[in-house]
Each structure stands twice: as C-alpha cells, then as structure tokens.
Amino acid sequence: MGAVVLSTITVDVGTTSVKLCLFGADGELLASARRPTPTVPDEVGEVYDLPEVLACVTTFVQGLPPDRRAEVARIALTGVGESGGLVRADTSLASPMILWHDQRGLDRLARLTPEQRRRVYRVTGLPVSGNYALSKVAWAVERAVDADGALWLNVSEHLAALMTGERWAEPSLASRTMALDLSTRTWSPEVCAMVGLDVGVFPPLRAASEGRPVTADFAQVVGLGPDVLVHVAGHDHMVGAAGADLGPGELLNSTGTTEGLLLLQDAPSLDERTERTRLANGLACAGPGWTLFASIPTGGSAFATLQGLLGLDADRLSAYVLDLHARYVRDELDLEAAPLVLPQFRGSPPPRKDPTARGLVSGLGSGTTAEELVLGCFLGLVLQQSDVLELFPSAARRVKVIGPASGNPLWLQLKADLLGTPLSASRFPEVVSRGAQALASGTTGSWEQTEPRDVDVDPRRHARLAEWRDAVRPRWEHLKATPA
C-alpha cells in the first residue's frame, strides 16, 4: 500500500450479504464473516432491518479477541450506493431505510419534461432513473413522521451515525443520489426543486479520509477504545477501485450480485453523447477525480438463477463450470449448440436501463442439456458486458476483475477472449473491504497484495468468438428489443 495502514474493522453492506472483516496494521486479513443482509417487508415492498444490520456489526466486533479489539483504530463502512432513509438528529429513522433497487417515488420522475431530464444529466451526471435516491427521498419526505430536521442518509452513513451520533454524507455515495452537482461538488437546489425537495434534506459532505470518534456508549457495547474513528469509505464499486489501485487506462470489473464497470476520469462526461449512453458519472472516493460507471443488474446473481432454474446445488453448478472451462480451452465445445441467453434476470443495463426487463432464451431444443444452458448463460453475460463496454469513450488497456468472477475460470476466459483484452483477476476475495481500510487510513490499496493472476487472450479463440458473436447478432438484437 502507498502508506501505513491502520488496524481496521470494515463493514460492506451489500445487496445479499453484509461482509465484515478485521484487517491488521499490515493489511493482513485477520478475521471475516458474512451474514445475509437483513430485510423486512413493509407496505410497499422490502426495506432494511436496521436493528439487525447493526447487530451483525456489534456481534462480529464483540466476538473478536480482546487483544485484537484493543488494536483497532478505525471502522470503515461501505456498501450499495442508492439506498437510504430519513434519519433524525437522535439517529432514529423517520422513514424506512429503502433498498437501492426499490422504485418507490418513481411517479415523481415520470413528470419531468425532456428538457428537465437533459438538465439533470448536465448537473448530476446521472440519467434519470428510479434506482437513484432522489425519487425515494421525495417519497420518504411526503410520508415521514416527526421528520423535522431529518436528513437523508445512505445505509452505510446511517450505520456511521449510529456509531458516532453524527450525520454526514460521503461524496461518492452522494454522487449516486441524483441530487449532487458534480461540477461544484455541492447539493443542487435546482435538481431537488424538480421533485419538490428542499436541498436542506441532505447532510454535509465529509470525505472518506475524514473520520469521527465513536460514542462512549457504542465503544462500551462492542469493547473498543474511545479513540476509534468511524469513516464512511464510499460506494462499494468506487471503494473497490481504491482497493485495486485503479490507474489511468484501466477498467475495474467489479462483480457481485450485480456487475460494475468503472473508469477513472479527470473530469465528468456531461456531454450529449454520454447522456445517450446512460452511463453514470460519479465522484471518486480518493482524491479529486471522477468516475464513469455502468451497472449491469445481473452479475453473480446469475448463479442463483441457474441453480433455481436447473435444480442444481452450488457444487454441481461449479462442477459444470469447471468442466465447460476445460473443454472450452481444448476447443471441444460447440458454441452453436448453446442456447442464446439474454441474462436480464434483474433488469437491463445501459443504455436501456429498464428495471422491469427480464431474461430471454432463444434456441432451446428438446435435446438441450443443462450444461449447454449454463454455457449459454455465461456467453450471454460476456456478450452483454461487451455491448456495455462499447458505450465507454475509450477502450481499456487492462481490466482488473474483483469479486466472484475472479474465481470462475470459464467466465474469466470468455471475457478475455471475447473482449480481446487481457484481464488481471484478484485471488483475494475482499478487495472492496481492503479498499475501505486504505481509504480510512488516508491511502490507496496495492493491486499486488490482491494476489492477481493474468488471464491472457488466445488469438484463435478470440477469432472464433468473434465469428459466433457476428452469427448470433441479429437474434441478440431482436431479444434485446423485446418489450418488458
């Protein structure tokens, strides 16, 4: 790492799991745990169960050996970028803590004129979408109880408030609200007014490197020292870029439940061409830079879909993947026999960005095997990623891969061969969490410490996949154009 790091407890609140880690002062992972993300139903859908989310954290910390707890200097929080709720001054909730993909409040955005939508992109760098927080904030403000002085906080920011008694927003998370002016790095009264909001509902900004001390009560409950500082490290994909020490000309492929593609930029891309792509601009967690980001709704979640669809347990599916990879690199697979799978199981990626879109399968026959359907799904994931990468203004010279895809040899090799771009895949499973530690220590991560392995492009297989892509392109475009 670029500087000395401090012993840190990291909390990563994801879509499906809460990941908890303890890192030592040398960056070594000393302890870790993973818990299903606690949610409860409400009258609209599903929301975070905040007491249980906090309990995941306190139980983990309390379970650490006393000598390890005594060494902890920082708590660093990260997680999904578009979640949130209204939080009172006493840190209690005045509204539900809403999940990132929840579409409540979408009707506020439906009223925006085409000119207002263009203006939103020029100011915030984000395409108008119900995934971002702005419409959720408007919905929450309208229904909140005893909400005088309540501020909108992301789920990670709320955890920080519960630990410190203070409310603030971290810039990379703020840039996912659709309420932040990217050029001035301040909340936008103009955009807030479009949905009837006062800009005062948003809290002051505080960089990832700026921590606040834990309260005496929290320190006593979990057994930490009173000098421990709490940092909100930022949006998980952006924190992953810090953990991967992402540099110019490199693309981060962050895989989890969803799949993220991220480039660092010296300035935001707010022009008409980028607006048409519906790529998302944002603020980097470290330093003064910006990001250009695309979220593909179906990433690692495809595994669960395949397991349910085919009645496979995780071990059997993994065996299929290993067998398919071995046969693929030996040129023993008939790509044309695999069904063409449009893997929009959780919505469509840019430029369509339709959360109601669903997956489609073409070419399914009576003789189609489960293995062929698995292969078709991974080919579809890679073809979908290739389409999204074409929206970016420049091609990456190297792709750094973190998350579940790093351990999937078939997925990795198909990516490298279809894209024609070498990959560097982390063997270390918690790059985002290590990035959170680095940011809380005022530095960035070291890619070499993630134990990367290179995945090179095979020219012959690259040509073969290019031929396959050209052959299926008419059907692929037809599938993508199918109404939701």
* pTM to 2 decimal places: 0.93
Looking at 3.30.420.40, 3.90.550.10, 3.40.50.300, 3.20.20.70, the CATH number of the domain 245-425+452-484 comes to 3.30.420.40
354 within 8 A of 484, measured Cβ to Cβ:
yes
Residue 302's pLDDT is: 85
Fold identical between 8-238 and 245-425+452-484? yes
Backbone angles phi, psi at 156, to 5 degrees: -70, -40
| Residues 309-320 pLDDT 10s | 899 999 999 999
Question: Which CATH number is correct for 8-238, 1.10.3720.10, 2.60.40.10, 2.40.70.10, 3.30.420.40?
Answer: 3.30.420.40
Q: Which stretches in the chain have pLDDT values below 50?
A: 1-2
Could you report the per-residue pLDDT of 57-91, keeping only the tens digit for each? 999 999 999 999 999 999 999 999 999 999 999 99
The pLDDT value recorded for residue 263 is 96
State the pLDDT at residue 360. 94
Beta bridge partners of 292: 263, 281
184-228 residue pLDDT tens: 999 999 999 999 999 999 999 999 999 999 999 999 999 999 999
pLDDT of residue 102: 94
Q: What is the pLDDT of residue 433?
A: 97
Q: Sketch the domain layout of the chain as residue ranges.
A: 8-238, 245-425+452-484
Task: Determine how β-strand 340-342 pairs with β-strand 360-362.
Answer: antiparallel
Q: What is the pLDDT of residue 3?
A: 60
